[in-house]
Structure 1
Amino acid sequence: MFHSKRIFLLLLVGILSFSACGGKKGAQPSSSKKNKPTSTKAISDKGNSLYYYLVSELQAYQGSAQNSLFYLDKAFKKDSSSSYLALQKAYELAHGNKLDGALELALKVYEKHPDDVELNLLLGKICSAKQFHDKAVIYYNKAIKLDPKREDAYQLLARQYLSVSQVPQAIATLEYFLKIDSGSLATRYFLANIYTTEKEFSKALRQYEILTDLNPDDPKIYAFMGEVYLAQKDYSKALDAFLKLKQLVPSDMSVDIKIALLYYEQKDFAHAIEIFQGLHQQNPKADRIIYYLGILNQEAKNTEAALSWFAQMPSTSDLFIESVARQALLLKNDKKLDEAISVVNAALAKKNKQPSFYDMLSSLYASKKEYQKALDILKTGLAAVPHNEQLYFVMGVTYEKMGQWKESIESMKKVLEANPSNVQALNFVGYTYAEQNMNLDEALSLVQKALQLKPGDGFMIDSLGWVYFRKGNIEEALIHLEKANKLTPKEPTILEHLGDVYLFKKDKRKALSYFEQALFELGKKEEKDVSEEAQIRKIQEKIGSL
């Protein structure tokens, strides 16, 4: 065996260094030649490889790998027949990623000592690093044969199998060792991790359960178990695991957050809020904790509390925009539009180049049907943030709600100038052309491009069907409209289009059925814009004509 006795060798280096320095500082030199200290030169002149090896060890201990290898080279040159020095040099070369040299030296030693466990493990590691998989497996297996209880050999072999995706062999290797030593924590952790990675969660959990018996106070076990239960979406058992973890590491804030979020998943908002309030007391400036408290109170229908928490979000936080949006939505849902407008205006005063705030403010005025005010807000936003894609898009939608389709197309074309791949704008312009029964070839091209970018979208498939209808390709139109209705059921416009197609085909019964469904769905909307009110009147006229 070639094991380094580093402490013993360092003691020898200390003795040699003391001798080379001539004894204690201030000591009187002896007149006798017999007691004259041996010099460093005298040692090296004798061809003593031990000296250089000891200096190499000292350099390694002090963290100087380059100097260590330099002195080890000198030691090896002094005694090139030493298997021990050759092996030490192989280790150093391998550590320095000089794998070819390391392999050459290790193989020379192997010729003399093929049954050395450490040497076989070193050769396995070198071959693994050089991606010589089969050879690495041979050396690791031999090390195991030489020492069947050598745990690291089994783990190295398992990792080697994993490196080439031979998962069953890796599992079999670790399971074999566990038959030898069922109490091994490291190997059982390793096996559980493989099962987790392979999504064999029940097998992973079985290993963690054994680990809880072997080492019940190890926090890592419950952390891993909790994550596995989360992957299984078994939130109840995940919560139990993290609660146990909390007992073992009571000061870990990340565990508190996971427990609170699990309470949230179980709709136990009171416990989740209680935990986050405790965390907020410890970390009053933590923006994510403030945000979570807002979300939790919003979910618990504690509107005033939610508004209060969202209002505390500092404008420097990356959650500021979302917090303002949630305040505005809560107030809008409570029909407090003026308060919502005040909140967004206050945010806009802090960040006047944030397009999202102009978008929010415009939408709030549109909800009040103050469309001109909404447009004025968007124009102010575009002055602050010129050529903004988002604001031009909202402007196009606002014009459409006002029934001003020409202006809406102009705005959407500016969106496409900024981003030719904006699928919503492509679909909007294509559909509007079809609705106005104009530029139908361009409309077809625009909608097809949108569907290439976002295939399977029900609204865009409806647009395609409507373009085909306007072009007179009735059967193709029907195919796409029926597909759109399956993808996006109960959508009034799609239902109306199907009614129009069947009316054209003189199937009045089906036409009436679809018109009535469309009218019913539109009637369920509490707030209707100008275009929706016009749509209702149009459908009523169609029904009246049947």
Structure 2
Amino acid sequence: MMKIWLSLLIAILSFKNISAQSAKIDPEKLLEYYENQRYEDAAKYLQSIYNENTKDIKALSQIAYCNLMAGKLPEAEKSYLKINSLQPNNLSALFSLTSINSRRGNASKAKSYLHQIIQLDSLNFSAYKQLAAYEDVPDAKLKFLKKANTLKTADPDVAYDLSMVYRELKEYQQAYDILKTAISADPENFTLQQAQLPLANQLGKYQEVIETGEKLLKINADVNVMNDTGQAYFYVKDYQKCINLYKVLEDLGIQNEGTLYYMALSYRELKDYDKAAIYAQKTIDEAISDHTPLYYAALAGIYEAKSRYSDALAAYKRGLSFGQSNMICYRLGLLYDLNLKQPKNAVVYYQLYLKNKPDQEREKEQIIYARERMTALAQTK
């Protein structure tokens, strides 16, 4: 609204200084049109004063502006194109032409005008910001957002969009840092704080997630905030708070496989195996996904803790039916070896585990153990 009135004030002052022809303009009449947002009438009034061949930049700008505000895009474009031909590289006209083509859905033309603006002004923040919005390719989007963010690190929209691109690329620290800078400039921006929570979880900043999450939840019981905060509770081993928070989501009917999974694990850690089994099954029922083998492994682990080995065996094998899993092969080897006392089957699954090339660094101990047990079991034949 302030921009509109500023434009109005400039318009009125400009017309008072436009030459003898401007004497025909009634400033009060024009002001009334603006005040009542009768932009189409204002455009017609100005066009009645200035003929269609006028080369007066100020007059053309006001006629174009009025038509733009009235939604008469072809007429507005005609005036802005004329301005650009009379005064090449007019940034204001180029931005207006960008806006017109954006509203028409002509992304190609809009981007063309924005590139012209950048050629004229390589530090134009608005042009980079708008160009980023047109890009679907991550690398191109990242390029424009990084430039815009460099020019204005505190801009919340750019910071948010840039952090989302980094998050997609799994560059969590960079995404986190971008948001941290913008948040420091606007500590009450809850949207940015909320966007930072999953990144903080990825970086292991669990206490920070809890503190921020609890503060945000006092303002609004947002589902995503509850989800992120619940995960943080789990990782700091506050299992009951994790359960309490996710139970709220379940009672509202907005649980998901992730929240149910963490509830199952939390109950398991609290040694409430009956509820752990219930929620492991709920997790499986909620969604069959790429994580399904993991969920069956969780259920099988709960059955093992309750010494229900046949149920554990069935759950592990059910998990394998949804996809190969090194972890399940290893766990099956242990189950057959240590609990079911079936050395031949144990060797089969230890071999499968090693055949699937487990991570040499992360699973070093499991690899060594599987090899040692295979050797030991072979000697018992």
* TM band (smaller chain): 0.5 to 0.7
Distance 1:90 1:146, change over 3 A: farther
Among 58, 65, 85, the residue aligned to 1:118: 58
Query: Contact (CA 8 Å) 2:160, 2:195: kept in 1 or not?
Result: no
Distance 1:145 1:114, change over 3 A: same
2:83 and 2:239 map into 1 onto residues whose CA distance is 63
Query: Contact (CA 8 Å) 1:151, 1:177: kept in 2 or not?
Result: yes
Does the residue aligned with 1:111 lie in a helix, a strand or coil? coil
1:332 and 1:171 map into 2 onto residues whose CA distance is 54
Report the AA paired with residue 226 of structure 1.
S
1:180 and 1:321 map into 2 onto residues whose CA distance is 51
Note the residue ranges of structure 2 that are not aligned, 5 or more in a row. 1-9, 294-309, 319-381
Shift of 1:221: 4.4
1:241 and 1:274 map into 2 onto residues whose CA distance is 20
Among 301, 306, 321, the residue aligned to 2:239: 306
Query: Contact (CA 8 Å) 2:243, 2:266: kept in 1 or not?
Result: no
Q: Do structure 1's residue 257 and structure 2's residue 194 form an aligned pair?
A: yes
Shift of 1:105: 1.4
Among 231, 244, 247, the residue aligned to 1:295: 231
Report the AA paired with residue 144 of structure 2.
Q
Query: Contact (CA 8 Å) 2:197, 2:213: kept in 1 or not?
Result: no
Aligned residue in 2 for 1:4:
12
Among 135, 139, 144, the residue aligned to 2:84: 144
Shift of 1:147: 3.9
Query: Contact (CA 8 Å) 1:256, 1:275: kept in 2 or not?
Result: no
Q: Do structure 1's residue 166 and structure 2's residue 106 form an aligned pair?
A: yes
Query: Contact (CA 8 Å) 2:84, 2:90: kept in 1 or not?
Result: yes
Which residues in structure 2 correspond to 1:5-404 (within 5 Å)? 5=13, 82-85=23-26, 89-90=29-30, 92-93=32-33, 96-98=36-38, 100-111=40-51, 114-128=54-68, 132-148=72-88, 150-186=90-126, 188=127, 191-215=128-152, 221-230=158-167, 234-249=171-186, 252-264=189-201, 266=202, 268=203, 270-271=204-205, 273-279=206-212, 282=215, 285=218, 287=221, 292-298=228-234, 300=235, 305-311=238-244, 322=255, 329-330=264-265, 333=268, 336=272
Query: Contact (CA 8 Å) 2:60, 2:83: kept in 1 or not?
Result: yes
Deviations 1:300-329 (A, max 9, x none): 4x6x51223433689799759859967863
Shift of 1:109: 1.5
Distance 1:280 1:99, change over 3 A: closer
Q: Work out the number of aligned pairs and report it.
A: 274
Aligned residue in 2 for 1:407:
none
Deviations 1:452-473 (A, max 9, x none): xxxxxx9xxxxxxxxxxxxxxx
Query: Contact (CA 8 Å) 1:120, 1:143: kept in 2 or not?
Result: yes
Shift of 1:259: 2.7
Query: Contact (CA 8 Å) 2:129, 2:148: kept in 1 or not?
Result: no
Note the residue ranges of structure 1 that are not aligned, 5 or more in a row. 9-79, 342-359, 365-393, 395-457, 459-487, 490-519, 529-546
Query: Which structure: larger Rg?
Result: 1
Distance 1:241 1:105, change over 3 A: same
2:317 and 2:161 map into 1 onto residues whose CA distance is 49
Query: Contact (CA 8 Å) 1:295, 1:306: kept in 2 or not?
Result: no
Shift of 1:208: 3.5
Deviations 1:214-253 (A, max 9, x none): 4556565433422333455554432332233345445645
Query: Contact (CA 8 Å) 2:131, 2:144: kept in 1 or not?
Result: no
Deviations 1:371-428 (A, max 9, x none): xxxxxxxxxxxxxxxxxxxxxxx9xxxxxxxxxxxxxxxxxxxxxxxxxxxxxxxxxx
Higher relative contact order (CA 8 A, sep 6+): 2
Distance 1:525 1:310, change over 3 A: closer
Report the AA paired with residue 279 of structure 1.
T
- TM-score, normalised on structure 2? 0.54
Distance 1:205 1:110, change over 3 A: farther
Deviations 1:112-141 (A, max 9, x none): 982222322233244445655443222002
2:158 and 2:260 map into 1 onto residues whose CA distance is 40
% identical equivalent positions: 15
- TM-score, normalised on structure 1? 0.40
2:155 and 2:144 map into 1 onto residues whose CA distance is 14
